[in-house]
Amino acid sequence: MPSADRKKAPKASERLRRLLVVVPYLVQHPGTELTEVTRLFGVPEEALVEDLRLLFVSGLPPYGPGDLIDVDIQDGRVWVRMADYFGRPLHLTRSEAIALYVRGAALAAMSDVPEAPALDSALAKLADGLGPETLGELPQRIHAAGGGRSADTLEALRAATAGHEKIRIEYYAASSAATTVREIDPEEILYAIGNWYVVAWDHRSDEERLFRADRVRTVEPTGERFEPRGLAGVGRPLYTRGEADAQVRLLLSPDARWVAEYYETEEQLERPGGSLEVVMPAGRLEWAERLVLRLSGAAEVLGPPQLKDRVLELAGRTRELYG
Amino acid sequence: MQPLERLVNLVALLLDAHRVLTFDDIRERMPEAYEQEDLDTAKRMFERDKGILRDIGVPIEVMATDAWESEQGYAIAKDAYYLPEIAFTPQEISALFVAAHAGREGSSAEEAVRKLLYGAQGGILVGVSGFALATDGVPDARLTAAAEAVAAQRSVRFRYRTSRGVEGERRADAYGLAVRGGSWYLVGLDRDRGEIRSFRLSRVSSDLTDVGEGSVPPEGFRAADHVQVGPWGPGEPQERARVAFSPEVAWWATKGLQGAEVLKERADGWVEVAVPNGPGEGLASWVLSFGPDAVALEPEELRRDVIRRLEATLAVR
């Protein structure tokens, strides 16, 4: 009997939904390892076994020995027989099909992802197989417009991440506007606001850092492996605030509002006339100087005070290049 | 009997049946499930179960048992229940798996790909390494709602804030979706302006409300043609400009930039590059983002724009 403090069990409808997807796989793949089922279907092993035990007493009338579904779990592997009517899964719902198609199209749009060509053909088969009643006009009406920078080191970074390999990279850091060599332990790869990022432990600063993949010039293996530290992946902020960080406060005119969509901000305040006041964390002011410089009059520096002087100094140095 | 067992048996019974079954038939075959003496109580329980099955997408139909329609019964339409067979290659199913798992956990896309796995060769997904794909703060539900409107050619209403910060109500016939640089755009006929416009979904500040049937996009419509490049890039390529970069940034500035071509490396280590140039001051702004690590060389107009911007900054002094 479940004890009172046990986590609330999922409802029968949730469990049934899961079974109608898992069982066809097990019927088609006799002897699959439970750990594999757990990984593929995102269901905890304990819950899976509980559901399978129940399946064992289910079947067709009159529910004699020859009518029940045959479930066999041995040495961590599972067999399901006598369930031919569950040999194929339930049709995709419209919203499931659309969600998968949209995700696939987003990934297929990235030329630097090696899965892209296979995804293109997979999506075509999906649209064809499900028919227009499921996806409607969507397959003809969804397009990738490119954009973003390609990262030719992405493959090497993904491989090192998957294999927990420490690597040596040549990196152009926008924060300091300099290219440096450093050793990193890459833990996660993520894509956000048009760019690929690597979440890694940086041995140079002895800190967790986020590296933009397109700014990684070279990847060199070190032959060493590392133990993952469990650094946060998707959903993490693209900038982790350090203790020594300055707060850059800018007043963006309508022409410069794009900055708030392109960079991580800590605060956004609407101001009269369509202006937007933003607060952005910055470990170093180099990138902020360059940002303000490119925006010319479209952004006003509200703080820190030294940023204004540094922008002027940078503008002076840049102006000299033009004689 | 546990509810789950009852539900599994009911689905099995209806999938295995070759004819329409009345409630009496079902009760007779599943005596332990609907054992209540009182017919109404048993029927209510069956109705609840039927509701659950429909909610998770099991297509139970109510139909007459014979041509005279004297009695109502229940059946699962097999072709509506079963996923059609689609023969994916191992590469294709892996790619779909990676795509589905690139988003937030527990999404409908993951659920969808799990259903497709049954036909895949066992073990092909071992060691498939994924990565995370974050959309720019657009909730999955909004993206799916936009895709559904496009799929069914609907017209939608929503609140929208322009890139320049002006907020207002929009009504658009959903024509297509475009993705550019990780951002999603709904492209459609703006009903108030009478023109095709693109709406970045991250700037939509409400749910999309369906307001009826939409119009049909013009012949040859492509959603991507209606999405402009953002102001952070160097601009839409039309002609070419010549820019020199310091050794520090040259490799990054030119790599992965569509249409960029290295012209020569100078004796001082600076690299001269031909880059796409477009109307507006996008390129001038982009060149300045490199500070003193980039110099605009050609055309003269670009140089003037850069200098004018620098002078404007310096004039505050």
- pLDDT computed for residue B129 by the predictor: 60
Partners of A59 on chain B (C-beta within 8 Å) are: 9, 12
Please state, rounded to an integer, the average pLDDT across all residues of chain A.
86
Mean pLDDT of A149-170: 86
Contact B132 A261 (CB under 8 A): no
Give me the interface pTM, i.e. the ipTM: 0.79
Same domain, A76 and A102: no
**Sign, CA torsion B270/B274/B275/B279:** positive
Q: Backbone phi, then psi, for B213, in 5-degree steps?
A: -65, 140
pLDDT at B17: 92
Q: Which of A135, A143, A233 is nearest residue B222 as measured by Cβ atoms?
A: A143
The shortest C-alpha distance from B37 to chain A (Å) reads: 20
Query: Mean pLDDT for each 10-residue chunk of chain B (317 residues)?
Result: 91 93 92 84 92 92 83 91 92 89 77 90 67 68 91 95 88 92 88 92 93 94 80 60 89 74 89 83 89 92 94 84
User: What's the pLDDT band for A172 if we cut at 50, 70, 90?
Assistant: confident
H helices of chain B, where?
Answer: 3-16, 23-29, 39-55, 78-81, 90-100, 108-116, 140-151, 247-254, 282-288, 300-314
Q: Are residues A253 and A308 in the same domain?
A: yes
For B161, the 3-state DSSP assignment is strand
Cβ contacts from A onto B, under 8 A: 412
Residues B248 and B308 reside in one and the same domain: yes
The total of structural domains in chain B comes to 3
- B172 close to A (CB below 8 A): no
**3-class secondary-structure state, position B296:** strand
Q: For residue B191, give how far its alpha carbon lies from the nearest alpha carbon of chain A (Å).
A: 19
Domain CATH for B71: 1.10.10
Subunit contact B5:A57, Cβ cutoff 8 A: yes
Residues 6+ apart with CB under 8 A from B238: B276, B277, B278, B279
Tens digit of each residue's pLDDT (9 = 90 or more) over A241-280: 555 677 899 999 999 998 988 887 888 999 998 899 999 9
Nearest CA-CA distance, residue A8 and chain B, Å: 16
Residue A9 has a pLDDT of: 59
pLDDT tens profile A228-240: 887 765 555 555 5
Max CA pair span of chain A: 95
Q: Which amino acid is at A215?
A: R
- Tell me, yes or no, whether A221 and A160 share the same domain: yes
| A297 and A271 fall within a common domain | yes
Q: Residue A238 falls within a domain, yes or no?
A: no
Quick one: pLDDT at residue B133? Answer: 65
Q: Are residues A174 and A201 in the same domain?
A: yes
Domain membership of residue A146 (yes or no) is: no
Domain-embedded: residue A165:
yes
Rounded Cα gap, residues B186 and B178, in angstroms = 7
Owner of token pair 């002078």: B311
Residue B116 lies in a domain: no
Residues in chain A: 323
Peptide bond between residue A304 and the one before it cis (omega within 30 degrees of 0): yes
Residue A1 lies in a domain: no
- CA dist., res. A316 & res. B131, Å (int): 43
Q: What is the pLDDT of residue A176?
A: 73
Tell me whether residue B95 is in a domain.
no
In a domain, B105, yes or no: no
Please check whether residue A194 lies inside any domain of the structure: yes
B110 within domain boundaries: no
Q: Please indicate, yes or no, whether residues B305 and B246 belong to a single structural domain of this protein.
A: yes
Mean pLDDT of A124-153: 82
What per-residue confidence (pLDDT) applies to B214? 95
Among residues B38, B65, B81, the one where a domain terminates is B81
Residue in the block written with tokens 């496009």: B150
Residue A241 within any structural domain of the chain: no
CA distance B16 to chain A (A): 6
* Cα B231 from Cα B282, distance rounded (Å): 6
Range of the domain at B194: 140-226
Q: Domain span at residue A203? A: 154-225
B190 plus B265 within the same structural domain: no
Query: Are residues A104 and A59 part of one domain?
Result: no
Please tell me which of the candidates A130, A138, A292 has its beta carbon nearest to residue B147.
Answer: A138
User: Domain end: B33, B59, B81, which one?
Assistant: B81
Which site among A88, A143, A214 would you substitute to test the B interface, given the most B Cβ atoms closer than 10 Å to its Cβ? Answer: A143
Q: Which of A225, A257, A277 is the last residue of a domain?
A: A225
When CB atoms are compared, the residue of B87, B257, B291 closest to A289 is B291
Residue with tokens 């658009």: B172
- How many independent structural domains does chain A possess? 4
- How big is chain B, counted in residues? 317
Residues A17 and A81 both lie in one domain = yes
DSSP assignment of B12-34 equals HHHHH-SS-B-HHHHHHH-TTTT
pLDDT of the residue at A313:
94
In a domain, A40, yes or no: yes
Q: What pLDDT does residue A7 have?
A: 47
CATH number at residue A60: 1.10.10
Q: Are residues B8 and B49 in the same domain?
A: yes
On whether both A257 and A292 belong to a single domain, the answer is yes
Please report the pLDDT score of residue B46 as a whole number: 93
Q: Which of B173, B201, B226 is the last residue of a domain?
A: B226
Distances (CA, A) of B121 to A49, A192, A236, B94, B151: 23, 32, 35, 11, 31
Contact at CB, B8 and A58, closer than 8 angstroms = yes
